């Protein structure tokens, strides 16, 4: 041991050279890092309308569920989080369990889409895709699984058209906006969305992303980039990291009139659970939801806290309703090992059992 000024010089040199070696290896890894592999589960485009596309996944089992399931994702992020990579794909897991899956890709709104309303999305695009799937499969009802904001839209659609929906599954869906948990819900109540929409027309994805990042600034702007240095020489870890980063910053803009109503009527006035929400000329009554409901929420969700999701079960008319939670955060719902092992199996079993009933 060679001590100088209280330092173990040999140990310091060893750590320095080990770090240098790790950085060199990290540079090699970064030169060849593979950030592809998202949205790869085989599917085909079966219907499109304006920028919205409907895909049908190719079955992975011989005997699939007779009632197809439509997945409705949020407008604020891209739907391929559900299929982020093959070893963490919720879609692939559900297909392997025997579900027949369709998914909506909302696309990227452009300036001409600024006047699209919630009515256009729910009574237009979702309604038309439901009709298309019913006709293609010769069924009168389908299952619908709504994720995050897509869960809010799916809930509204199910309340407006209970004759079209066999079973409703919601995942981390905001329903009761009168909560003080989560910064997003506090900000939403005070956000001047009218000025933003008037200024931008279509709210840019980068603006939305900046808002989400500052919800957890230390973790999302500093901690994760420091942590990634520990894995710099691990090609799989780096590929996983860049795949996720690519998804995070692939944020579509938001059609102005839709986000205006979403913020004003839901975040500020909580009209959905009050029974006061209007979609076009139709009033949304959650008591009309008479089909089975599986309500899934994340226990550590900082974007949609449990207090915003759990009340759905108290407001619907159905007596067949179940609530399930997982000890993960919002994104962990799709990619954590815990949810991968248990969530897909739970959803598939629940849907299969209820799809057999007349």
Catalytic residues: 148
Determine the 3-state secondary structure of 100 from DSSP: coil
Q: Which helix (H) or strand (E) holds 104?
A: strand 101-105
Closest to 107 in 3D by CA, of 319, 254, 1, 231 = 254
Closest to 89 in 3D by CA, of 101, 104, 76 = 101
171 HSE (CA, 13 A, CB side): 24
Phi, psi angles (nearest 5°) of residue 247: -70, -45
Quickly list H helices, the chain. 9-31, 90-96, 118-119, 127-137, 149-160, 183-190, 193-200, 205-213, 217-218, 224-230, 235-248, 256-261, 271-274, 306-309, 312-315, 332-335, 337-355
| Cβ-contact 235, 33 below 8 angstroms | yes
| Cβ-contact 267, 188 below 8 angstroms | yes
Q: DSSP letter for 69, please.
A: E
| Rounded Cα gap, residues 195 and 193, in angstroms | 5
- Pair type for strands 282-283 and 142-147: unpaired
| Cβ-contact 90, 338 below 8 angstroms | no
- Secondary structure (DSSP) of 128-159: HHHHHHHHHHT-S-EEEEEETHHHHHHHHHHH
Q: What is the residue whose two structure tokens read 């909506």?
A: 104
Supply 263's token pair.
């913020």
Closest to 90 in 3D by CA, of 328, 358, 356 = 328
């Amino acid at each position: 041991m060679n001590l100088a000024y209280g330092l173990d010089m040999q140990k310091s040199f060893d750590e320095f050279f080990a770090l240098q070696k790790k950085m060199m290896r990290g540079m090699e890894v970064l030169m060849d890092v593979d950030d592809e592999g998202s949205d790869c589960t085989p599917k085909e485009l079966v219907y499109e309308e304006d920028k919205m596309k409907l895909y049908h996944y190719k079955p992975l089992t011989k005997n699939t569920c007779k009632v197809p399931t439509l997945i409705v994702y949020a407008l604020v992020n891209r739907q391929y989080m559900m299929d982020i990579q093959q070893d963490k794909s919720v879609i692939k897991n559900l297909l392997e369990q025997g579900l027949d899956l369709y998914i909506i890709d909302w696309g990227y709104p452009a300036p001409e889409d600024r006047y699209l309303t919630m009515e256009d999305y729910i009574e237009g695009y979702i309604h038309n895709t439901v009709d298309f799937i019913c006709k293609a499969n010769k069924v009168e009802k389908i299952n619908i699984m709504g994720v995050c904001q897509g869960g809010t839209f799916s809930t509204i659609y199910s309340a407006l058209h209970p004759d079209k929906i066999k079973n409703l599954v919601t995942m981390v869906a905001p329903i009761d906006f009168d909560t003080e948990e989560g910064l997003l819900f506090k900000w939403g109540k005070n956000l001047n969305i009218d000025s933003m929409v008037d200024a931008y027309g279509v709210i840019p994805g980068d603006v939305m992303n900046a808002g989400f990042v500052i919800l957890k600034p230390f973790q999302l702007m500093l901690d994760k980039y420091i942590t990634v240095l520990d894995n710099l020489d691990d090609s799989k870890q780096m590929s996983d990291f860049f795949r996720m980063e690519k998804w995070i910053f692939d944020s579509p803009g938001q059609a102005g009139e839709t986000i205006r109503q979403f913020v004003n009527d839901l975040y500020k006035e909580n009209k959905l659970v009050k029974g006061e929400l209007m979609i076009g000329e139709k009033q949304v009554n959650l008591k009309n939801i008479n089909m089975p409901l599986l309500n899934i929420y994340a226990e550590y969700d900082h974007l949609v806290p449990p207090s915003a999701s759990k009340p759905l079960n108290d407001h619907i008319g159905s007596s067949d309703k179940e609530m399930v939670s997982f000890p993960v955060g919002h994104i962990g719902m799709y990619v954590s090992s815990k949810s991968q092992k248990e969530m897909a199996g739970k959803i598939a079993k629940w849907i299969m059992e209820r799809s057999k009933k007349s």
